Amino acid sequence: MEEGLKTADPHDCSAYTGWTGIALLYLQLYRVTCDQTYLLRSLDYVKRTLRNLNGRRVTFLCGDAGPLAVGAVIYHKLKSDCESQECITKLLQLQRAIVCQESDLPDELLYGRAGYLYALMYLNIEIGPGTVCESAIKEVVNAIIESGKTLSREERKTERCPLLYQWHRKQYVGAAHGMPAAKVDHETLTEMVKPSIDYVRHKKFRSGNYPSSLSNETDRLVHWCHGAPGVVHMLMQAYKVFREEKYLKEAMECSDVIWQRGLLRKGYGICHGTAGNGYSFLSLYQLTQDKKYLYRACKFAEWCLDYGAHGCRIPDRPYSLFEGMAGAIHFLSDILRPETAQFPAFELGSSKRD
């Protein structure tokens, strides 16, 4: 992988396909092995990204929020508190543009408000509660809720789906364009979030898979970004919040679809590859402690271990975290410690794209 990275785009600083994703991989390897060498390698890569922030995007996966959040965490682990706080301060300076309802910023994970929200939550998980104050998180959550209500009214779906989101004029279904699990008040959860989840549930195909967008009737994609491998995370989160067995049952049904159709020739990465699909099994194992799901995760890991042996399509960024080899390595490392798997928790998957 390191040899291949010599040909990677030197200007791609994103977590999705660029150098921040490689920094995240080495941070993961440090977490699994406690080898300080990996943490220092992670620092090398994140320094490269922090020198090249461009301000064009604001999300964790595809914008400046990712390098800043990952940089803050790495510096914190190295006890470089001044550098860590500088990253956090720069991240919070982006907030005003995020919450502005007059902006044309979308709400989804890859390119919108939910992607910025994830960066804030990531800091509180990795550094500690209160690293980002709850009021800042709540402000972003409220902006996402209000935007979802507005589109639902415009599309005349308020009663059926109180929160509706789109990207490039399509209402996509999948984890890549959804929103992360965040603290929402009880009334909003029961009156808006829950019926919106149920609206997505009712779009399920007979096979148990889900469409790529609410208007699409083609049962084709079985990816983390589109289809059952993304929706399963939404269903698991719904079960954790509402404690209704229907959500867990349907998450298990998603797992069966992934088991049947989820070894992808599209690649080995997280977004639309076998590693991302394998994470659905690890997440279900963590939730249920049913070893069937750990077995399934291990079988998908075996496929990833035979990297390059299946005639898979070579992705545009073959060594990246979300498209290529780095994603497969990240998944394989979590197989070693399934009880503490650190897949980014992009869990509420109901919105936008391919």
Residue of 349, 106, 317 lying closest to 223 (CA atoms): 349
Instruction: Identify the burial level of 251 via C-beta atoms within 10 angstroms of its C-beta, where 0-12 means exposed, 13-18 middle and 19 or more buried.
Output: buried
Give me the sign of the Cα torsion angle 314, 40, 332, 254. Answer: negative
- What is the distance between the alpha carbons of residues 272 and 221, in angstroms, rounded to a whole number? 9
DSSP H/E element including 27: helix 19-33
Please compute Rg for the chain using Cα positions.
19
Q: Are 183 and 134 in contact (CB under 8 A)?
A: yes
Half-sphere exposure of 242 (CA within 13 A, CB side): 21
Tell whether 13 is in a known binding site. Answer: no
Angle separating helix axes 19-33 and 65-77, nearest 10 degrees: 30
Tell whether 225 is in a known binding site. Answer: yes
87's CB contacts (< 8 A; 6+ apart) are 50, 68, 69, 71, 72, 75
Q: What are phi and psi of 350, to 5 degrees?
A: -150, 85
Q: What are phi and psi of 54, to 5 degrees?
A: -115, -10
Tell whether 271 is in a known binding site. Answer: yes
Q: How many other CB atoms are there within 10 angstroms of residue 19's CB atom?
A: 29
CA angle (155, 161, 167) in 5-degree steps? 60
Considering only the C-alpha atoms of the chain, give the largest distance between any 2 of them, rounded to a whole number of Å: 55
For 173, the token pair is: 């279904």
DSSP H/E element including 87: helix 81-92
- Binding site listing for Zn(2+): 225, 271-272
- Binding site listing: 225, 271-272
